[in-house]
Structure 1
Amino acid sequence: MLGPPSTPPLKRRARRLRRGKISRVAVDEMGEVIGFIGGQPEYDGRVWEIHPLVVRPDLQGRGIGRALVTDFEDLVRQRGGITIRLGTDDTEAMTTLSGVDLYPNVWEHVARIRNLRGHPYEFYN
């Protein structure tokens, strides 16, 4: 099931995100959160960035992320958006990937990533 965050802690987090942004959760039949997608508008709402997209690791590959993205696309379209982008960045030098030319060995750099200052990427591991 997809929808806006519904439990009190998720509602509080969603309120912080709200101001024109999108936040949606996927829950299982027991009401447990199994995925989350958020996004924010850019360029007067014509372009949207997905940030973040998370699916519980043990449930990945089952179409949950796809359903979240499809739902996100529908909401963006309803708001007049015409493009969605998924970006990656480390603009605050919080990991060893910041300021590094990743090419041509992207996966070598990713395999050796270190968290220097509490970057949230560890949350997704």
Structure 2
Amino acid sequence: MYQQHYMNISDMTMEEMAFVQQATNDLSDEQKQYFYMVYSGKRRSPQEILIYTLLGFVLIAGVQRFLTGQIVMGIFYVLTGGFCLIGTIVDLVNHRSLATEYNQKMAYESFQITKMNVK
């Protein structure tokens, strides 16, 4: 029933959808609904990561790293100008994998929150 909620996220990759569906297999309908609410608020779209990475060329490098919870790496990017823009270019190419990695962590965290809060 709640698979349709995952389909409403237009930028969800097949890999992310498969991971989320696997993570929610053992949840009740009420838990799936709660999981969806928590997860949809935490996830980042690849386009969002791409936009913040592009800002690294114009304003402050490393914003995408702060956005994905990589605070130390973000500080290094800010202090070194995105490792002299090379790190920013690499992140520009790999923005989808940055988003996927972050979203998998958030799916796991959302699953744990759901298990603790909804019985």
Structure number with higher relative contact order (C-alpha < 8 Å, ≥ 6 residues apart): 2
TM-score bracket for the superposition, by shorter chain length: under 0.3
Structure 2-normalised TM-score? Answer: 0.24
Q: Relative to total residues, which structure has the larger strand share, 1 or 2? A: 1
Query: Higher helix fraction: Structure 1 or Structure 2?
Result: 2
